Amino acid sequence: MTTSSKVVSKYIEVEDDETLALGFYDDDDDFNTFTDGDLDCSCEDGGGFSDPLSGEVKPRILLMGLRRSGKSSIQKVVFHKMSPNETLFLESTNKICREDVSNSSFVSFQIWDFPGQIDFFDPTFDYEMIFRGTGALIFVIDSQDDYVEALSRLHLTVTRAYKVNPDINFEVFIHKVDGLSDDAKIEKQRDIHKRANDDLADAGLERIHLSFYLTSIYDHSIFEAFSKVVQKLIPQLPTLENLLNIFISNSGIEKAFLFDVVSKIYVATDSSPVDMQTYELCCDMIDVVIDISCIYGLTEEEAGQPYDKESMAIIHLNNTTVMYLKEVTKFLAMVCFLREENFERKGLIDYNFHCFKNAIQEVFDVRVKVQKNRKLLSQRRRSKQALTTNGVLSNPH
Ligand SMILES: Nc1nc2c(ncn2[C@@H]2O[C@H](COP(=O)(O)OP(=O)(O)OP(=O)(O)O)[C@@H](O)[C@H]2O)c(=O)[nH]1
Ligand SMILES: [Mg+2]
């Protein structure tokens, strides 16, 4: 295996978009926290907190659900590399915690972790403002607990949110399924699915679509579910999938994933189905690459930078399959599965990969251009408004 040193910047930009090295996560509570009282801050972008540099409005992902359902654990495990056992010591959340997840590539959003019991009738809780800028609402249901109350809370939350913003993706995590047998998991999912949709149908809201996922922080299911939630928020997804399809069909590759290295969320994959084992192998491979890079790949000057342009790894599995990892951007890695005999044409694969990388770069460039234009437009609008309010602009007629 070949790995090389240097960085993957940790993309959780908390204060100044600065980087922390992978593997050295700061366990301090580096969330931006604010109380419900702070929520009525008015935002001119319709409630979305825009990135001042790009003019981009980051979609929000809300984590909601009853107390102790596992919301904060999910966030800590997926985005802070907290080990699942450590979540046992997490304290109950008592105010909304907001965190920016932004890696300046395709994955860019905010996660809002809510306290268990949100009171929609509390006048200080400006839920309209919250839901207006929301891309996805994840509702977490503890599957090891009685879920009658959770279902009625889900119904209330979803109907409120839908009224304010019908474009929200509603995602239901049937969580803590690690304690359940396979049969019990399927039965729980069927039951929750039926009851939640019946409630919506009774309210005449069958057009609201809920997506269900079985999740646990003790395996990769939470990463996979989060990947799917995030993918829905990436407008370039069809383009990325198309590029991956073209790449694999011309390179003798069976499956390819585009991974966000830090969170191990897969941003896109080709159109063949994903199986959990393959996904887990990819996550393990990324861990191995980063770990080996941290241990052997870092010179003193480059300390803390385990992922860079030269990062790549090849793993031969004992079933004649090869896994091939290559750097795509500072934050993204491609992980491919292919047969050993096809790997003999590595030159072709590398050439196709080079073309793929260029195409991705073009997609990025378009995105950057759009963001710049948006920023210019909003600046112009603002200065025009300022002029009008100062009475400088007057109608000549
Ligand atoms: N077995 C199991 N336990 C989990 C899982 N996820 C979270 N937990 C446990 O659930 C408990 C509550 O987790 P939290 O993340 O604090 O729950 P929360 O929803 O943020 O709770 P509030 O902040 O009070 O609303 C902790 O003891 C976690 O260890 C899971 O997937 N499986
Ligand atoms: Mg919490």
Specify which residues 101 forms β-bridges with.
Answer: 109
- Residue 31 pLDDT: 35
- Residue 96 pLDDT: 87
User: Is the C-beta atom of 73 inside 6 A of ligand 1?
Assistant: yes
Sequence ranges of the chain with CATH classification 3.40.50.300: 60-233
Sequence ranges of the chain with CATH classification 3.30.450.190: 236-373
DSSP state of 294: I
**Rounded-to-integer distance, Cα 263 and Cα 278, Å:** 17
Q: Does domain 236-373 have CATH number 3.30.450.190?
A: yes
Question: Looking at ligand 1, which residue's alpha carbon is closest to its atom 5?
Answer: 176
**Rounded-to-integer distance, Cα 190 and Cα 210, Å:** 13
pLDDT tens track for 19-31: 222 222 233 333 3
- Residue 101 pLDDT: 81
User: Is the C-beta atom of 90 inside 6 A of ligand 1?
Assistant: yes
Strands, E assignment, the chain? 32-33, 50-51, 56-57, 60-65, 97-102, 108-113, 134-142, 169-175, 210-214, 253-260, 265-269, 312-316, 321-327, 332-339
Ligand nearest to the CA of 65: 1
Q: To test the ligand 1 pocket, which listed residue (29, 87, 173, 218) has its Cβ within 8 A of the most ligand atoms?
A: 87
* Cα 307 to averaged position of ligand 1 atoms, centre (Å): 31
C-alpha distances in Å from residue 25, one per residue of 9, 97, 305:
11, 18, 13
User: Is the C-beta atom of 221 inside 6 A of ligand 1?
Assistant: no
User: Is the C-beta atom of 216 inside 6 A of ligand 1?
Assistant: yes
pLDDT tens track for 50-81: 333 344 567 889 999 999 999 999 999 988 88
- Residue 63 pLDDT: 94
**Rounded-to-integer distance, Cα 93 and Cα 71, Å:** 9
User: Is the C-beta atom of 115 inside 6 A of ligand 1?
Assistant: yes
56 backbone dihedrals φ, ψ, rounded to 5°:
-90, 140
pLDDT tens track for 212-264: 999 999 998 999 999 999 999 888 889 999 999 999 999 999 999 999 888 88
- Residue 252 pLDDT: 92
Q: What is the pTM of this model?
A: 0.78
Q: Nearest 5°: CA angle at 362, between 54 and 110? A: 35
Question: Model confidence at 129, in pLDDT bands (50, 70, 90)?
Answer: confident
- Residue 374 pLDDT: 79
Q: Domain 60-233 class? A: alpha beta
- Residue 18 pLDDT: 28
